[in-house]
Chain A
Amino acid sequence: MDPSLSASDIASSTKPLSEASSPPVMDLLSEPASEASSAPMVDLLMEPASEGSSAPMVDILSEPASEASSAPMVDLLMEPAREGSSAPMVDLLMEPASEASSAPMMNLLMEPASEASSAPMMNLLMEPASDDLKEPPKPDIDPLADILNDTPLSEVKTPVAAMPQETPSDLFDDEPSELFAEPRQSNTAKQQQTSIFDEPDEDLFSEPLGEASKNPQNDFFKEALAPVAKASNVCGPLSDNYNEHPTDIFTEEAMTTLPSAVSTVSVNSKTNGVHSDEEEPDIFAEATVELSLDSPRNDRKKKGAAKPSAPAPAPSVSASASKPQPKTLEELEEEVEDKFELNISITNPEKVGDGMNAYMAYKVSTQTTLPMFRSKTFTVRRRFSDFLGLYEKLSDKHTPNGYIVPPPPEKSIMGMTKVKVGKEDNSSAEFVERRRAALERYLQRVVFHPSLLQDPDVREFLERDDMPRAHNTQALSGAGFLKMINRATDSLSKMTIKMNESDVWFEEKLQEVEAEDQQLRKLHIMVDSLVGHRKELSVNTGGFAKSVAMLGSSEDNTALSRALSQLAEVEDKMEQLHQEQAASDSFCFAELLADYIRLLGSVRASFDQRMKTWQRWQDAQNMLQKKRETEAKLLWANKPDKLQQAKDDITEWEAKVTQYERDFDRVSATVRKEVLRFEKEKARDFKKQIIKYLESLLQSQQQLIKYWEAFLPEAKAIA
């Protein structure tokens, strides 16, 4: 199959190239029919090449075809279809996971494209990234080819006429329909850029203009740039290029390598500043995103910052607007991780109401220097179901993205009923304290998570005085249980699916997590048993102490009688000691394990989420395949009436495949980072807690020594 041919074909119109060896791209390319003349197209393509050399042109054209089978390509092409503002996020995430350092760039570039609904942009960008750095002209040309492929396919059937004269920009004009014309003119007028390439870019950017309200994008843009500059050390190539080629990137770029391509993008965005808004925020988002790509640490941070905007498209603008701030905060936080400027404590558990409607309310006190909060210290009262409600909200929002959302302690009907009934005994006091501590740890884990801290619900939970009651809390525990079961069956069914992705890391980690989960459960049972036996020991020591005291009182040798009552006292103190030790076993050790068993559940959930997105991607691919077969059959049967529908279907599913794959990559990257973060936290938690626990053991041994040392002379005094 001749790549150049296919490219031209595509450009010209919609002719299926059934021979294509690499389905995704080839199909795309093949779609355009052969009705349109291929010549203009070729010319178009050649023009940019002329600046460099024409030979590369061919190469360029051939490149996409040959590389079409590589995933990134597919993604890029599919981008235009994606809808949400979450796209930037995805790209960021998936790129690091893949390979190239240039990846970020192309993502950046492709994002605006997707927003604008015009593929070319993104294609342009991605080509350079995916291709070899060696091919200087290619970057330029490829994008074009891609642009041509992508854009005209669905909407535009006759771009050909315009092409010869105005180069790619014309192409673009046609396809987006009216929107395009307006902004473009202004662009061209203003910019008068020599290179053809600029134009398409411009167009792309301008496109959104029509739809979106005009924002002070310039500002945005600057903001976006600032972080970039700041983080220049992180992503060298980008910043360098950036500085070097302010304007004529395109000309230079033809000769330069990949980095330059990257820079073009940023340059473009810069020039775009003139244009409009909608994509501004996007670019911006990308810019921030892209910074993080090179260093996983940074990346995580950034992701965190960008995250909130991702799940909820609505606040994306505001989120991106406020981005610079949270980001710096997070940077700070990363740097001084231990000097976390947010302290949360839960105190004063209080029973509210009577009978079965009674509930426990806790005082949640926050101390912070974070400017995102209205004041430095504040307290609110929350009941247990509020904590559950917070978890539900966070989990709904963040779990699908692969985040590990810390789970709250389980509902305990037994424990709570006791409290409700008003038994003021030891066990119910212990229950309340245990729960208070568990809630505190839960909340601390939530706010310690840089992404979750940014969630408005968390802020609301900490700050708002009149929290609306969490809904259906009654059902929560039951529902949670069901969810767990579903999760289990889900993961079972997922396990049967052979994931033929190459990343062994996930496979190994999941196995590790599962093995760890098993051992922690075992350990928890044992520590619980230790707590039980220690309590039993305490009770039995108390019983023995009383018995020895009685024996001493009936002993008729005075010295022995006295020694026995001293022994009784020692045993009495030991009873207390064992009691305290049991409490420490339970609070320091068992609770830690219980926390981590729950947390591992969330970790597994994030792995499951990854599986799910993978499955969805695979399903979409299968569906796409089917649609293509349908189309081929229709073509064969020569049923043009149904052909359009089939084509639409294909476009739709191509878009879905792209999106789902990106979702998958994004979730994968999130899961990976989350797991690494989790492991760090876990190591710290375990060290801290177990050292605390060992110190409690040490203390009781010291007490023990004191007691027996006092007793020894008494024993020796028996005569």
Chain B
Amino acid sequence: VSSVNVDLQTDATLQVDISDALSERDKVKFTVHTKSTLPNFKQNEFSVVRQHEEFIWLHDSFVENEEYAGYIIPPAPPRPDFDASREKLQKLGEGEGSMTKEEFTKMKQELEAEYLAIFKKTVAMHEVFLCRVAAHPVLRKDLNFHVFLEYNQDLSVRGKNKREKMEDFFKNVVKSADGVLVAGVKDVDDFFEHEKTFLLEYHNRVKDASAKSDRMIRSHKSAADDINRIASTLYTLGTQDSTDVCKFFLKVSELFEKTRKIEARVAADEDLKLADLLKYYLRESQAAKDLLYRRGRALVDYENANKALDRARAKNKDVLQAETSQQVCCQKFEKISESAKQELIDFKTRRVAAFRKNLVELAELELKHAKGNLQLLQSCLGVLKGDT
């Protein structure tokens, strides 16, 4: 199911996947399936039902945990968005009278397929998040994570209320303002200095590429839809014409009906292999940036603590307190730096592997589809030319 390969070292001691999912009105219920030999769990294999909000809760609990400041927190899965698809379905229902039965059935099938694709993607995104956590040497031991996996009741996680959302918003504003401040500080470590510049640029570019790929795929889908409608109109033409062109129209309609399916698959595969990959690395690079921010913040704190200690020593006032504080800051910074370096190296390894896998698969699928199209066109042309 996993559409985005993050190249996780799977480890038999803890394996997590989403075995099933159920769409209920505006909610999606995921069945999270766990296989583990870890002693923390009562059983070796079990399943629980989780909703998107619970995933978010888990993610936020990682982010808020100071212990994990030195790690790239796996990005939270995006919120399931069936609105566009539902809206289309509704519109289709309204327009039922204005189209022929075939057209309606066809459109309905199309939309259902689209809905299913979004659904599958949503499931995949959520699964990737859990797999990432399960593969993480530290996060996999997190208690919240274990509760999330094992507790077979509702976690009573509620969505954030307005006040909390406002707080989050201000936090983010402060954070990004602070981020600019922190980023302006020259890093003492060349590795981190390089990573900082890289991630800043990389993130922006992957963001752009992700948006552009979405646009490209959207127009590809539109083109495939057009071919679909052309096929059905040709079919109508073929059935209402009494002259010998009708066979011709029907044949071409049949061809377009097949090629548009392939075109749609091309678009869907590009979406899965390219756009989703970019989108995932957009979020992952953001998570890496967040890590660098935390480290940068810790560095600034550490430097401030040093200055405060110097001042305290100069004034010979509260020296002990300053020393303690300086030590805490130092430890924190060093701890973050220590794990962050490995995290960033891992991030790169994962990224290269994921891109390789996805690009190879993309190329193979493109080839497969193009060859399928070619074959259809060749055989159709053979028939048509034989006719004339």
Contacts and interface: CB of A to CB of B under 8 A. Distances in A.
B226 A551 contact: no
Contacts of A567: 359
B366 A704 contact: yes
B378 A547 contact: no
Interface string B368-387: 00110110011011001101
A711 B360 CA distance: 9
B209 interface: yes
Interface stretch (B169-177, B200-208, B324-332): B200-208
B167 interface: no
Contact of A705 (B223, B236, B359, B370): B370
B242 to A, nearest CB: 6
A702 interface: yes
A697 B206 CA distance: 32
Contacts of B220: 537
B240 interface: yes
Contacts of B360: 712, 715-716, 718
A350 to B, nearest CB: 35
Which residue among A682, A694, A698 has the maximum number of chain B CB atoms within 10 Å of its CB? A694
A538 to B, nearest CB: 8
Given A533-B226, A543-B212, A556-B348, A519 B205 contact: no
A709 interface: yes
Interface in A660-719: 679, 682-683, 686-687, 690-691, 694-695, 697-698, 701-702, 704-705, 708-709, 711-712, 715-716, 718-719
B243 A690 contact: no
Given A519-B236, A563-B355, A712 B363 contact: yes
A679 B243 contact: yes
B320 interface: no
B160 interface: no
B219 interface: yes
Interface stretch (A303-311, A524-532, A602-610, A617-625): A524-532
A512 interface: yes
Interface residues of B, number: 59
A682 B245 CA distance: 8
B373 A701 contact: yes
A564 B212 CA distance: 15
A687 B237 contact: no
Contacts of A520: 237
Contacts of A515: 240
Contact of B359 (A508, A529, A715): A715
B216 A683 contact: no
A553 to B, nearest CB: 8
A594 interface: no
Contacts of A541: 216
B374 A551 contact: no
A421 interface: no
B76 interface: no
A540 B219 contact: yes
B209 A550 contact: yes
A544 B374 contact: no
Contacts of B242: 508, 512
A522 B223 contact: no
A687 B359 contact: no
Interface of A: 508, 512, 515-516, 519-520, 522-523, 526-527, 529-530, 533-534, 536-537, 540-541, 543-544, 546-548, 550-551, 554-557, 559-560, 563-564, 567, 679, 682-683, 686-687, 690-691, 694-695, 697-698, 701-702, 704-705, 708-709, 711-712, 715-716, 718-719
Smallest CB-CB A-B distances: 10 pairs: A530-B226, A718-B356, A715-B359, A537-B219, A540-B216, A544-B212, A533-B222, A536-B219, A547-B209, A698-B377
12 contacts: A512-B240, A523-B230, A544-B212, A546-B212, A550-B208, A686-B249, A691-B381, A697-B259, A701-B373, A701-B374, A712-B367, A716-B356
